[in-house]
Amino acid sequence: MGRTLAEKVWDDHVVRHAEGEPDLLFIDLHLLHEVTSPQAFDGLRKSERRVRRLDLTIATEDHNTPTLDIDKPIADPVSRAQLETLRRNCAEFGVRLHPLGDVEQGVVHVVGPQLGLTQPGTTVVCGDSHTSTHGAFGALAFGIGTSQVEHVLATQTLPMARPKTMAITVEGELPEGVTAKDLILAIIAKIGTGGGQGYILEYRGPAIEKLSMEARMTICNMSIEAGARAGMIAPDDTTFAYLKGRPHAPEGADWDAAVEYWKSLCTDEDAVFDAEVLINADELSPFVTWGTNPGQGAPLSSAVPDPASYEDPSERDAAEKALEYMGLAAGQPLRSIKVDTVFVGSCTNGRIEDLRAAAEVLKDRKISDGVRMLVVPGSARVGLQAVSEGLDLVFKEAGAEWRHAGCSMCLGMNSDQLAPGERSASTSNRNFEGRQGKGGRTHLVSPRVAAATAVLGHLASPADLSDAETRTPAGV
């Protein structure tokens, strides 16, 4: 019987298989950041162990880093201490580090792919659940806890039970103006935050094949929001073209050998998935969340649902609690929801294509009075690229703040946070209670919706913008 993509990559990494035990998997790439590594390095030190494969390990700083005044000492002493701990650990153990201020610094899941380190058929881990992002290349990539970070540092392997596989087939074509973010939010709303538990997802079908690498990363990034540790997309010419010439992509004969191998990484026709989900892209429209988990989403054109409409008592209860927290009423049109802050960035939507999409909407427009908009590139390199294209000027002229690379407002760990009761439209991945700051209220959206929302001051898509009202007259 044929094998799925996930099974092929898994099989190629089994160091040891024994009945009744988890497989011991080899890890090709271990990404580190400051938050989930300190206790792992401590463990190594206590057991007098070294990092087994420094050549497969790389670190950067992202969660705690400020996005303003990066040349000054970090104001929060606890954040500063955590970054200093990473720097000390990397120096002591010999790990390659891209600290704040370095041109390769950025959100770890943006940095790996842009360096060409994330490649098809590799296993990639990081102490961060959004490691699923790297699955866009046909890599088997998943988030791990700190005990596992220590395990990988010490052994370059992980004992893992083989997960089941789920196909998410997206038929048709995304309509004009509907993006990867809308698609993944719709998928999560359909299968639920626990729908992918125990599975590796494989996104496939014509609508997926047409997506750029950036869009594929947005999709795979949010696999964890559907409960799946990993999500994958079979590598193809789009993948190879993205990788060609990147600093760590193979060269010469190695490139040819790699591409030959990569081309074998697709699900065989006679392979069987443990579960299958079918989505029709033709029916999709811009999608936003109204609740406090990423599965609580709906088309922007619809209204806040009535909790009473849920049959499942725990879903009904969750919806009631979400509406209370979010300060929303059942039946309220989603477009009527006013926001205070708009955030464009994160490992979900902080890549160059995302910034271009937001800039295209904002060009010659102004953001609404009273709305604060932060645009945060996913990495220092993405920032440089955006500047070279003049996107930073578009954002600044529209009234948005152009910041330095980092996780920023995706999570309340650095100085970019929502105030209690403040409401955001955010291109990030989690709308949990307090995720963006204590008492903050988050609506997850695409970069296009984020930009249109910033202009109108309420949840909106670019189709809602009227040229006459919002465009600055030529020559002014």
Partner 1 sequence: MEAFTTHTGRAVPLRRSNVDTDQIIPAHWLKKVTRDGFEDGLFEAWRKDENFILNRPERQGATVLVAGPDFGTGSSREHAVWALQNYGFKAVISSRFADIFRGNSLKNGLLTVVLEQKIVEALQELTENDPQAEITVDLQTREVRAEGVTASFELDENSRWRLLNGLDDISITLQNEADIATYEAKRPSHKPQTLKV
- Choose between 120 and 383: whose C-beta lies nearer to partner 1: 120
Among 39, 212, 238, 470, binds partner 1 (CB under 8 A): 39
Among the listed residues 173, 268, 315, 360, the single contact to partner 1 using CB under 8 A = 315
Per rule CB under 8 A, count of chain residues that contact partner 1: 89
Distance CA 85, CA 179 (A): 39
Q: Is 35 in the site for partner 1 (CB under 8 A)?
A: yes
Q: Which is nearer to partner 1, 293 or 461 (CB)?
A: 293
Q: Which listed range, 254-262, 274-282, 303-311, 464-472, lies at the site for partner 1 (CB under 8 A)?
A: 254-262
* Residue ranges in 189-208 that form contacts with partner 1 under rule CB under 8 A: 193-194, 197-198
By C-alpha distance, which of 357, 358, 298 is closest to 328?
Answer: 298
H helix runs in 62-145, sequence order = 77-93, 108-114
Q: What sign results for the dihedral spanned by CA atoms 240, 171, 268, 137?
A: positive
CA–CA dist 392, 240 (Å, integer) = 29
**Nearest distance from C-beta of residue 231 to partner 1, angstroms:** 13
Q: Considering only 48-56, 282-290, 450-458, 460-468, which stretch makes contact with partner 1 by CB under 8 A?
A: 48-56
User: Which residues, 284 to 313, sit near partner 1 by CB under 8 A?
Assistant: 293, 295
Helix 146-155, helix 38-46: angle, nearest 10: 50
Q: Which is nearer to partner 1, 282 or 324 (CB)?
A: 324
Helix (H) or strand (E) holding 285: none
Please choose, from the candidates 78, 113, 137, the residue with its C-alpha nearest in 3D space to the C-alpha of residue 378.
Answer: 113
* Phi-psi group of 469: left, alpha or beta (phi > 0 → left; psi -120 to 50 → alpha; rest → beta): alpha
Q: Give the per-residue contact string, 108-137, with partner 1 (x = CB under 8 A; - = no).
A: --------xxxx--x----xxx-x------
Q: Which residue has the tokens 């997850």?
A: 444
Residue 296 Cβ vs partner 1, minimum distance, rounded to whole Å: 9
With respect to partner 1, which residue has the nearer C-beta, 221 or 461? 221
The binder of partner 1 chosen from 4, 6, 8, 28 (CB under 8 A): 28
Contact between 8 and partner 1 per CB under 8 A: no
Q: Any contact of residue 393 with partner 1 (CB under 8 A)? A: no
Q: Tell me whether residue 117 or residue 450 sits nearer to partner 1 (CB atom).
A: 117
**Does 433 interact with partner 1 (rule: CB under 8 A)?**
yes
Residue in 2, 45, 69, 147 binding partner 1, rule: CB under 8 A = 147
Q: 381-414: buried (b, 16+ CB within 10 Å) or exposed (e) per residue? A: bbbebbeeeebbebbeebbbebbbbbbbbbbebb
Residues in a beta bridge with 420: none
Distance separating alpha carbons of residues 171 and 420, to the nearest angstrom: 41
50 counts as binding partner 1 under rule CB under 8 A = no
State the distance between the two ends of the chain, measured CA to CA, in whole angstroms. Answer: 67
Between CA 47 and CA 2 the distance in angstroms is 43
By CB under 8 A, the residues from 351 to 390 that bind partner 1 are none
Among 4, 67, 79, 379, binds partner 1 (CB under 8 A): 79
Shortest separation between residue 454's beta carbon and partner 1, angstroms: 25
User: Within 13 A of 121's CA, how many CA atoms are on the CB side?
Assistant: 16
Under the criterion CB under 8 A, does residue 435 sit at the interface with partner 1? yes
From the list 87, 162, 164, 248, which residue makes contact with partner 1 (rule: CB under 8 A)?
248
